[in-house]
Amino acid sequence: MAGATNGGDAYDNYTLVTGGTISDFVYGANVTNTGKAYRNIVEVQGGNIKNVVGAATFAVGQGGDDIYNNRVLITGGTIKGYVAGGENNHNKSAYSNTVEIKGGSFEKDIYGGKIENKEQVATKNTVTIDGSDGKNITFANDIILYGGYLNNANGKIAKDVFTGNTLNIKNKKDISIKDVKNFEFLNFYLPENIAKNDTVLTLSAADETDLSRSKIGVAMSSGGIKLNLGDEIKLIEKTNGTIKAPGDLTNTLDGQARTQKVVSGVSKIYTFTLSAPNEQNSVKKIVARVSEVEDNKKQKNIAETSAMMGGMVNEGAEMTSSSGMKNASSATMSNGGESSNFGALGGQNVRLNSGSHVDVKGLSFIVGVSKQANDAFMYGAFVEAGFGNYDSYNDFGAVGSAHGWGDNKYYGGGFLGKFDMIKNYYLEASVRAGRVYSDYKSSDINPSQNAEFESSRIYWGGHIGFGKIFELNSVSNLDIYTKFFVTRLGSDEIEVIGEKIKYHNSNSIRARLGSRYSYYLDDNFEIYGGAAFEREFNSDAKATNLTQNQDLVSPTLKGNTAIGEFGFKFKTPFKPLTLDLNLQGLTGKREGVTGGINAEFKF
């Protein structure tokens, strides 16, 4: 026993049993005089135990109070006696208690809430049988599951032991017990291995099982379920006796009536029709029949993350080819060709119009060292990184919308070089490689459970540029240039709600034509502005649901973007340091604002 009181409340106690033999009760708390018991937990991982109770009161006279919000979690072991989330053996109630079974062997009845025959109720209690962990769960054939239980031998006092009590069966089938009683809600979350004509819950009681006031719900526990049109699943089947069927067979989950369309994993939407077939003037089973199967259009939102990862890496290419190249060249020239440090820090708030759109916010930086090999050739090496977050949005009309979100980052490095030719022509190039990471969350793909995953992909790429600087006069010039970018993302396999999805290799191929005007106020201060037009020729973010052998609709950044820029560069009072502040505006396939601070440092 974790907590006991002979006066006062018992709360926030925790009892853990990992093994051994206990021939009596295991409590989270026990009140023997005035006081409540709440927020107590019993966890059983193993051992042989008689009875397990989240919290109880055995007070006498006017003592005792409510038993509520207590929890029993059993993941292993053998329970020889009964299990109860809360037990009130005096003059108050047991409500909102929970019994969660994820493993173990059970020989006696299981109660959400258990009360005596006085002024009490046992409501809003929950019993959950969850096979998600794959552990063995066995029940004796004569076990009864109770949402609420009234210990009223003479039958003269009828209290509420029904309202709000819930039975959840998750990721488990072929359960055989005697009966279920006093559950307002019975929720069946079908396991991945469910198949046509399978039975989830078999009852052997010869008496009638009264579900007339109950509400039944069906959902999916995980992905990969493959049911066909017309397939039937027996949610409840009686081998003896009959069922008094629910008066309302609307699919009801979480206490709310909802559409009978149920999402399996991320890819399929099943419409279940619930029925209670009348066979020979009696009901022996409750059946869920697949009356429609549809593709889940919302799974496209998962592919938007792949498009975002490509866009994030391309922002790094932008920094390398513009700020990185400019600063590396300028730093060495102003330092007499000797080794010089350069760096740049940039921010972005950009929308990627990928068919729907992805909003990306983040910071990127590049630091490196450059050197002049001779009067014409400069080379350098750098490291790069970026961090940010994103929100992806899809609108599917009548089907609804999907919103995903997550964090992203990349790390890498590379080399750059520039060759100054005669008559102010120049040629530049860079190569880079690294790894990009992203995570993802969404509550819209499957309304029964959140979709989550993490992805990590290798990237590599580079650019080549050619241009000419026209000297307009002694204080200004015009740079006309063209650039060609290539970036490749490697593939990755992710798992989302039990379904395997592959991000395929993706390529970004871009060409840009632009100009930049520079005006020098003096040797220490430069103002510049420019405009460019860019065309993305590829950039399809292809993905395949491997579990269903189904290609997702591919978002793409193929299209045009117009870019405008403005900035100024100045030498700081700390003479070895020169700063460059810039701002870019984008419209088209990429729209938004980017900006940065660039630095040159001479040794």
**Together in a domain, 71 and 100:** yes
**Together in a domain, 329 and 378:** yes
Question: Is position 188 within any domain?
Answer: no
CATH number at 309 reads: 2.40.128.130
Question: Is position 263 within any domain?
Answer: yes
**Together in a domain, 243 and 382:** no
**Together in a domain, 177 and 207:** no
Residue 304 is encoded by which pair of tokens?
């938007």
Output the 3-class SS for 51-101: EEECCEECCCCCCCCCEECCEEEEEEEEECCCEEEEEECCCCCEECCEEEE
pLDDT band of 323, cuts 50, 70, 90: confident
Q: How many domains does the chain have?
A: 3
Q: For residue 321, how many other CB atoms are within 10 A of its CB? A: 23
**Together in a domain, 282 and 393:** no
pLDDT in tens, 451-463: 999 999 999 999 9
Question: Is position 431 within any domain?
Answer: yes
Q: For residue 170, how many other CB atoms are within 10 A of its CB? A: 19
Contact in structure between 82 and 54 (CB atoms under 8 Å): no
**Together in a domain, 172 and 308:** no
Residue 259 is encoded by which pair of tokens?
């559409």
Per-state percent for the chain, helix, strand, coil, to nearest 5: 5, 60, 35
DSSP string, 313-349: HHHHHHHIIIIIHHHHHHHHHHTTTS-EEEEEEEEEE
The CA-atom distances, in angstroms, between 419 and each of 43, 372, 573, 576 are 70, 10, 31, 25
Give the pLDDT mean for 150-179: 85
Q: Report the distance separating Cα 234 and Cα 224, nearest Å.
A: 19
Q: Is the pLDDT of residue 340 over 80?
A: yes
**Together in a domain, 490 and 587:** yes
> How much of the chain exceeds pLDDT 90, in percent?
69
Write down which residue in 290, 310, 337 finishes a domain.
Answer: 290
Antiparallel, parallel or unpaired: β 340-352 and 357-372: antiparallel
Q: Which domain holds residue 144?
A: 3-183
Q: Report the distance separating Cα 477 and Cα 516, nearest Å.
A: 8
Residue with tokens 């009490």: 120
Question: Is position 192 within any domain?
Answer: no
Q: Which residue has the higher pLDDT, 483 or 155?
A: 483
Q: Report the distance separating Cα 446 and Cα 265, nearest Å.
A: 7
Q: Is the pLDDT of residue 271 over 90?
A: no
Q: Is the pLDDT of residue 7 over 70?
A: no
> What pTM does this model have?
0.76
**Together in a domain, 276 and 309:** no
**Together in a domain, 511 and 527:** yes
pLDDT in tens, 193-239: 899 999 999 999 999 999 999 999 988 776 667 788 999 999 999 99
**Together in a domain, 323 and 244:** no
Q: What angle do CA 215, 216, 219 make, to 5 degrees?
A: 140
Q: Report the distance separating Cα 523 and Cα 104, nearest Å.
A: 80
Q: Report the distance separating Cα 201 and Cα 184, nearest Å.
A: 17
Question: Is position 223 within any domain?
Answer: no
**Together in a domain, 539 and 406:** yes
Write down which residue in 247, 262, 290 finishes a domain.
Answer: 290
Q: Is the pLDDT of residue 572 over 90?
A: no
**Together in a domain, 437 and 496:** yes
User: Looking at residue 329, what is its pLDDT?
Assistant: 86
Question: Is position 118 within any domain?
Answer: yes
User: Looking at residue 3, what is its pLDDT?
Assistant: 47
pLDDT band of 409, cuts 50, 70, 90: very high
User: Looking at residue 344, what is its pLDDT?
Assistant: 86
pLDDT in tens, 11-26: 999 999 999 999 989 9
Residue 557 is encoded by which pair of tokens?
């950044």
Contact in structure between 191 and 173 (CB atoms under 8 Å): yes
Element housing 331 (H / E): helix 325-334
Non-local (6+) Cβ contacts of 48 within 8 A are: 20, 21, 22, 77, 78, 80
